[in-house]
Structure 1
Amino acid sequence: MRVSSRDGGSGTPLGHELAPLRELVAAACRVLAGRGLADGVLGHISVRVDDQRLLVRCRGPRERGLAFTTPEDVRLVDLEGREGARGELDGGYTPPTELPLHVEVLRARADVTAVVHAHPPEVVAADLAGIRIRPIIGAFDIPGTRLAAGGVPVHPRGVLLRDRRLAVEMVASMGDRPVVVLRAHGLTSAAATIEQAVLQAISVDQLARLSLKVVSAGGTLTDLPEADMAELPDLGAEFNTATAWRHELARLPGLLPHAGEPCQRS
């Protein structure tokens, strides 16, 4: 049975037509937390609904952190952070302070539908140690290797991206890349789907972890040779995204109903 989304405080029903997307965003937040990319109460995920509105993980009156996100925490807002529909911010819900981060990526990138912002400690530590995200691996994580080979830019300001001016600066640092590392802060990942955006963030975190281990063991980071890169096959979206996402959901305790089902978008 599908769980209907209701406001956590007022009992106001939320838009039923967006219930599958709310469930998916909530599950994605829990995946981030389960992977250690968003411990505590910091981090958020958004998805474009139309030209003027997005669903975003908001903070409610009983905030417990991303690991405990439910569909009721995912609210419809406009580009200014106002209610995207009647009752969406009832019950004491507020959009994240860094909503401009999501909005400016969506404004600038027509290819992007979903935006992930997380605070992975190893990504932050690697950057502060002067370690860039590079394609040091091969078949260990083929999508992650290809992402790193294309370059992972770094936004050099360790600030809270709380307004349009600061968010636009981050978008400029990001350019057309899928992920940008935020110095002394975390990362932003953007993609055509929520699943893709989360999996990209996981790959970057994995590369940062491996890089730190290699360097701490006295090793030297070396990019995968071009000949080896050319041998890496494209295993296809069914394996790279769909199968990988089913695995991430299976790791979660108490999987949200229908969170693994594809969403029908108009």
Structure 2
Amino acid sequence: MSAELAPLRELIAGACRVLAARGLADGILGHISLRVDRHRLLVRCRGPEERGLAFTTAEDVRLLDLDGQPGAPGELDGGYQAPNELPLHTEVLRRRNDVAAVVHAHPPDVVAADLAGMAIRPIVGAFDIPGTRLAQGGVPVYPRGVLIRNRALAAEMVASMGDRPVVLLRAHGLTSAADGVERAVLQAVGVDRLAGLSLRVVSAGGTLVDLPREDLAELPDLGSGFNTSTAWRHELARLG
């Protein structure tokens, strides 16, 4: 495999482990991709000794084209296979020029909150500013609990997603898209955090209330250096 892509393979592998450590991709489900050029992407593939996202290595990250074929000689050697839901990634990349990275995960709290009829809402303030801002813009829902294994289903999902960074997949999980792997993962973590808080509030007998408009207006943008770079270093450090 090409040496120049080695750092990107390591980035994706680490991001997969972060998803697992945060409980967003328990077991063997979920994957992350990154656009390399107009026709190719790096994506976590399933290998002959699959152990789940928590144990992802750079060896599991393979270069494919948008049709699921090897993006370079040898990329699917050794018994590796593209994920069944590769179209979930490739259709987002085909239709969203603003997106470079796609995360697909199965967070239980996100699934439970959606099935309970709870939307992802800006219910907190300084507790999680990036998550609140994301929720303020709306988190749409793709209403079908299917395996997104062909372009037609993926196109439906992307239509539900619109121009938003995250879409919930009913009875399934979520898809997060961003200009980089780090931000795509952190968005998924933020949505999961809000879903978990929503479930706790309702379970405690409370009512979900959006943060007042005047408080939302007071929340500062702390910048990508803090929201993404520092937050990402923390996520990697948590892995030990």
TM-score, scaled to structure 1: 0.90
Matched, 1:233 2:220: yes
Which has the larger helix fraction? 2
**2:238 aligned residue:** 251
Aligned-partner Cα distance in 2 for 1:234–1:100:
34
Match of 2:32 among 30, 45, 68: 45
The DSSP-based 3-state class of the residue aligned with 2:79 is coil
Within a 5 Å distance, the mapping from 1:31-42 to structure 2 comes to 31-42=18-29
Aligned-partner Cα distance in 2 for 1:239–1:222:
27
Per-residue deviation, 1:124: 0.1
- Residues 208-266 of structure 1 deviation map (CA, whole Å, 9 limit, x = unaligned): 0000000000000000000000100111110000000000000013xxxxxxxxxxxxx
Question: Mind listing any 5+ residue stretches in structure 1 that lack a counterpart?
Answer: 1-13, 254-266
**1:262 aligned residue:** none
Per-residue deviation, 1:59: 0.4
Aligned-partner Cα distance in 2 for 1:230–1:207:
19
Question: Mind listing any 5+ residue stretches in structure 2 that lack a counterpart?
Answer: none
**1:86 aligned residue:** 73
**2:208 aligned residue:** 221
Within a 5 Å distance, the mapping from 1:1-266 to structure 2 comes to 14-253=1-240
Per-residue deviation, 1:179: 0.1
- Residues 80-121 of structure 1 deviation map (CA, whole Å, 9 limit, x = unaligned): 101000000000000100000000000110000000000000
Letter in 2 for 1:81: G
The DSSP-based 3-state class of the residue aligned with 1:91 is helix
**Runs of 4+ with deviation above 3 angstroms:** none
Q: CA RMSD in A?
A: 0.4
Per-residue deviation, 1:163: 0.2
Aligned-partner Cα distance in 2 for 1:77–1:242:
28
The DSSP-based 3-state class of the residue aligned with 1:117 is strand
Letter in 1 for 2:34: V
Aligned-partner Cα distance in 1 for 2:129–2:24:
20
